Amino acid sequence: MVTNITNLGRSGLSDWLVQRASAIVLALYTLFIVGYLLFSPGLDYATWSGLFAQTWMRIFSLLAFVSLAAHAWVGLWTVTTDYIKPTGIRVAAQSIIILAIFVFLVWGIQVLWGA
Amino acid sequence: MSMLQVSLYRYNPETDSAPYMEEFQVDTQGRDIMVLDVLHMVKEQDNGLAFRRSCREGVCGSDGMNMNGKNGLACITPLSEVVKKGKLTLRPLPGLPVIRDLVVDMGLFYKQYERIQPYLQNDNPAPAIERLQSPEDRDKLDGLYECILCACCSTSCPSFWWNPDKFVGPAGLLQAYRFLADSRDEATRERLAELEDPFSVFRCRGIMNCVAVCPKGLNPTRAIGKIREMLLANAT
């Protein structure tokens, strides 16, 4: 057993499952957005804004944001533990990554739910 | 005369400040001999050359090395399989400390093997004759027990290169599953608990270098997938 405290779920198993589940959500969201843009020629602001005004789209988008945040945390945490060997620099990099993910998540929610 | 150019990794910590590659010419007389035979011919030219070998038939796992960029056992790898453009480059197994020339320190590799407790654990009193197993249960061990611990797989794995102290590595995980899959072993829960952290099993990224190099044709990636399935079944 190797102890870790800066990974998302404190357990490799939960990180692994979160990584896969979030990947599916992100794949579906990407397919949906790309498909929507392809099949909506002459898209204007009102339609685009209308899409995001609907509750199901807000739920779907928020789910995608949270999935992206979790996916990025698990993935980038793995990269830092593979390649950054000095503890001080690694913990600093992990802190910056986690802070950035938090900022982007809150910012994304504000864009989605804000006025 | 048909000369083969052999490029050899040389390092003697007592006299060399850094490793270097040394060129040798070996007369193979056009025969498709094994890489190990070539090494013996080179040793006739320079008897200071150090490499490990024992059974010379792919059973002991002593002569794992990197041949033209791919890990394998020198004794069962014919020249026709590895030589490109009349040149053979031999290096020690990657990622482990070099003791001398082609000899590496396998300490970390064995430490990870030891960690998975590679022995049957069963606290019930042993029966008078032996612990029986159905033929179906015995079949589950095929493709697992044949490992000879040559380290070709673990030393071809980038995850093991970066974290050899934390990631068990394909060889160790194949053996971990060998005991998890054994119907006679009763320590399944304890074994799984030791493996669920982010490194021991989950540092595997599934690139399957281990499968590509295994001289016994085993599949550690499949075993790792089975361990993940067991962990998931146990924890959800």
- DSSP collapsed to 3 states, chain B: CCEEEEEEEECCCCCCCCCEEEEEEEECCCCCCEHHHHHHHHHHHCCCCCCCCCCCCCCCCCCEEEECCEEEEHHHCEHHHHCECCEEEEECCCCCCEEECCEECCHHHHHHHHHCCCCCCCCCCCCCCCCCCCHHHHHCCCCCCCCCCCCCCHHHCHHHHHCCCCCCHHHHHHHHHHHHCCCCCCCHHHHHHCCCCCCCCCCCCCCCHHHHHCCCCCCHHHHHHHHHHHHHHHHC
Out of 3.40.640.10, 1.10.1060.10, 1.10.3720.10, 3.40.50.410, the CATH code matching B107-235 is 1.10.1060.10
CA distance B216 to B171: 12
Tell me the average pLDDT across B21-38: 95
Tell me the average pLDDT across A72-93: 95
For residue A4, the model assigns a pLDDT of 84
Whichever domain contains A98, its CATH number is 1.20.1300.10
Within 118-177 of B, beta carbons closer than 8 Å to A belong to 159, 162-163, 166
Domain B3-104 fold: Ubiquitin-like (UB roll) (3.10.20)
Q: Residues B176-200: pLDDT tens digits? A: 999 999 999 999 999 999 999 999 9
Q: Residues A62-78: pLDDT tens digits? A: 999 999 999 999 999 99
The reply to whether A51 falls in a domain is: yes
The reply to whether A20 falls in a domain is: no
Structural domain boundaries in chain B: 3-104, 107-235
The reply to whether A17 falls in a domain is: no
B235 contact residues in A (CB cutoff 8 A): 13-14
Task: Look at chain A and report how many structural domains it folds into.
Answer: 1
For residue B51, the model assigns a pLDDT of 97
Q: Which residue, among A2, A17, A77, A83, would best test binding to B if mutated, counting the most B CBs under 10 Å from its CB?
A: A2
- pTM summary value: 0.91
Verify whether the Cβ–Cβ distance B202 to A16 is below 8 Å: yes
The reply to whether A94 falls in a domain is: yes
The reply to whether A100 falls in a domain is: yes
Q: Residues A19-68: pLDDT tens digits? A: 999 999 999 999 999 999 999 888 999 999 999 999 999 999 999 999 99
Kindly tell me if the per-residue pLDDT of B3 is higher than 60. yes
Verify whether the Cβ–Cβ distance B200 to A15 is below 8 Å: no
For residue A10, the model assigns a pLDDT of 84
Q: Residues B135-175: pLDDT tens digits? A: 999 999 999 999 999 999 999 999 999 999 999 999 999 99
CB pairs under 8 A between A and B: 49
The reply to whether A34 falls in a domain is: no
- Could you list the residue range(s) of the whole structural domain that residue A105 is in? 44-115
The reply to whether A61 falls in a domain is: yes
The reply to whether A38 falls in a domain is: no
Kindly tell me if the per-residue pLDDT of A114 is higher than 80. no
Question: If pLDDT is split at 50, 70 and 90, which confidence band does A115 have?
Answer: low
